[in-house]
Amino acid sequence: MRSSTSKAPSSDAKLCRYATRIGLAKLSKMAFDGGDLRPLWHELVAKVGAGKATAGEGLDLSVITQLLGDKDLGLEIQSQVLAQQQLFRSPCASAAPRLRVLALAAAMDMGGNTPIEFLLEGSDIELMTLYIVPGIALPDPLPDHDIAIVIASDSDDCREALLDIARLSMSWPRPLLNAPGRICNLDRDKLHRLLRDVSGLAIPATARVARAQLSEIARSSAGLADIADGLAFPITARPIGSHAGFGLAKLCDAREIERYLLEQPEPDFFVSQYIDYASDDGLFRKYRITYVDGRPLAVHMAISEQWKIWYLNAEMKTSAAKRAEEAEFMRTFDDSFAARHRCALSELAARIDLDYFTIDCAETKQGELLIFEADNTSIVHNMDPPDIFPYKPPQMRKIFNAFAAMLIGRAGIPVESSKEIVAVFGD
C-alpha cells in the first residue's frame, strides 16, 4: 500500500488558517478499546489517492498508520503533510472555548510530543497545535491564543525544533510554558547530572555510549568505570530514543553485552547502573507521577514479578489484588508516598523547573526515591475501562483539572471559584 500514499494530501491551508483532525486521543482510544482502524485507514488512503484529503485527514492517516505498526510510513505521510500545513485544531467540547491553547510541537513520531490532547479532551479549552518545522516559516500572524506550551521532547530528533522555539520564545507574545532550554535537561544522562546529589533521591549513573565503545567493553569489562563514575555490573542498556522498554536489557557481564549487541543494531545506547528495587515480598513496584505547576500527582502504579515494568506488561487488569493496591496508592498519595518523599520530590521539581512533566520512579530498599526517568511526553490518560478501574477516572479528572487550572491561571484569566475549574471536566 505504500504507493497509495505517494501523493501528498491536499492542503486546506488556503481555505482556513488551520486544519481540523480527529486527533491522537480519539484515535488512540479506538485502538486501545480494540477497535479496527483499518477501514478508516483505507478510507483515508483512498481520499489521498484521489487528491481529496485535507491536511487534517493526512495527519490522522499518519497517526493511524503508526498505530497499525508502520512507523516509517506514518512519518513519511506526516512529512508530506507538514510540508504544506503546520497548524491543526483538535476537537473541542465547546463552540465558545474559555481558553485558547497553542501547543508548539516537533515533527516527531506519535510519542515524541506531549500527548496534550489527552489532558484537554472533553474540556471547553481549545487546542491548536503548531508544528515547528526547520526551514518552514511560522504563520504570520501567529494564530490567536491565550497561552502557549512547548510539547516537543528532549529527543535528539527534536533538537533543531527546540532551538527554533528557544529563539522564538525570546519575543513570544503570550505566556509560554515548558521552556525549551529546560526540556533538554530531561535526557537520561543530563538528568543524572542534574539530580545525583539530591538528598533522599537515588538515580542510577547514566551515560551515552556509542556502539563501538560498548563493543570494546564487551571485550574488557575494565572500561565500565570510564563511562560513568561508579558504573559496574550489572548494568542496563537501551537504544537511545527507544520507549516502553524496547531494547532495554539487564547485562551482568561482558559476554551478555556481546550477545546484546548482536540483537540490537542501533548505533548509540544509554547505559545505566542497575539498581535492585524489589520490595520485601519480591515484587517490583513502579510509579508514574505527574507534576502540574510544581505539584506531584499520582498517575499509576505498576506491580510485577519482573524488574522491567511498564504498565501494560504488569497485568494490572487481571489482578484484583494489584488494582486494590494501586487504588490505595492513589487514595493516600498526598499523606503517604508524597509525604515520605516530600523533600526529594520538591527539590526534583525545583531543579527540573518545568510547568508540566512526569517521572517514572520506585523506592529503593533503603527507602530512597529511585528515579528512572523524567519526561514531558509520557502519556497520562483516562482510557482504562472504569468497570475494572473505578478508582482511575476521579484521579485522572483531578490531574486534568489541575492542568486546566494551571493554563487558566498562567494565562491571567480570572477564575471565580474552584467549581468553575471542576466544571471544565465535570465532577
pLDDT digits (tens, 9 = 90+) for 385-420: 999 999 999 999 999 999 999 999 999 987 654 445
Classify 192 as helix, strand or coil: helix
Answer whether residue 141 is part of any domain. no
Q: What is the pLDDT of residues 171-213, one digit of tens each?
A: 999 999 999 999 999 988 899 999 999 999 999 988 999 999 9
Task: Average the pLDDT over each of 21-25, 65-69, 214-218 and give the range with the smallest value.
Answer: 214-218
Indicate whether 360 and 416 sit together in one domain.
yes
Indicate whether 334 and 404 sit together in one domain.
yes
- Our count of domains for the chain comes to 3
Indicate whether 411 and 321 sit together in one domain.
yes
Domain residue limits at 58? 1-85
What residues are paired with 87 via a beta bridge? 130
- Residues 132-154 have a mean pLDDT of 91
Indicate whether 342 and 235 sit together in one domain.
no
Structural domain ending residue among the three candidates 65, 85, 105: 85
Peptide bond into 134 cis (omega under 30): no
Indicate whether 239 and 290 sit together in one domain.
no
Single pTM value for the model: 0.91
Task: Average the pLDDT over each of 158-172, 185-199, 221-235, 276-290 and give the range with the smallest value.
Answer: 221-235
Indicate whether 306 and 406 sit together in one domain.
yes
Indicate whether 294 and 387 sit together in one domain.
yes
Spatial separation of the C-alpha atoms in residues 424 and 402, rounded to whole Å: 10
- What 332-336 contacts at long range (C-beta under 8 Å, 24+ apart), as own/partner pairs, is 333/297, 333/298
Q: What is the pLDDT of residues 53-95, one digit of tens each?
A: 999 999 999 999 999 999 999 999 999 999 999 999 999 988 9
Indicate whether 362 and 409 sit together in one domain.
yes
Spatial separation of the C-alpha atoms in residues 218 and 210, rounded to whole Å: 13
Q: What is the pLDDT of residue 353?
A: 98
Answer whether residue 21 is part of any domain. yes
pLDDT, greater one: 223 or 334: 334
Structural domain ending residue among the three candidates 243, 273, 303: 273
Structural domain ending residue among the three candidates 215, 247, 273: 273
Classify 28 as helix, strand or coil: helix
Q: What is the pLDDT of residues 300-349, one digit of tens each?
A: 999 999 999 989 899 999 999 999 999 999 999 999 999 999 999 999 99
Per-chain mean pLDDT for the chain: 91
Q: Are 152 and 158 in contact (CB under 8 A)?
A: yes
Answer whether residue 5 is part of any domain. yes
Burial 186-196 (b: 16+ CB within 10 A, else e): bbbbebbebbe
Indicate whether 237 and 301 sit together in one domain.
no
Give CA separation, 176 vs 163, 171, 172, 356, 401, in Å: 15, 10, 7, 12, 19
- Residue found by looking up cell 506514518 in the block: 74
- 226: domain CATH number is 3.30.1490.20
Indicate whether 318 and 252 sit together in one domain.
no
pLDDT, greater one: 45 or 8: 45
CA angle 132, 136, 142 (to 5 degrees): 60
Q: Are 199 and 343 in contact (CB under 8 A)?
A: yes
Answer whether residue 169 is part of any domain. no
What residues are paired with 250 via a beta bridge? 236
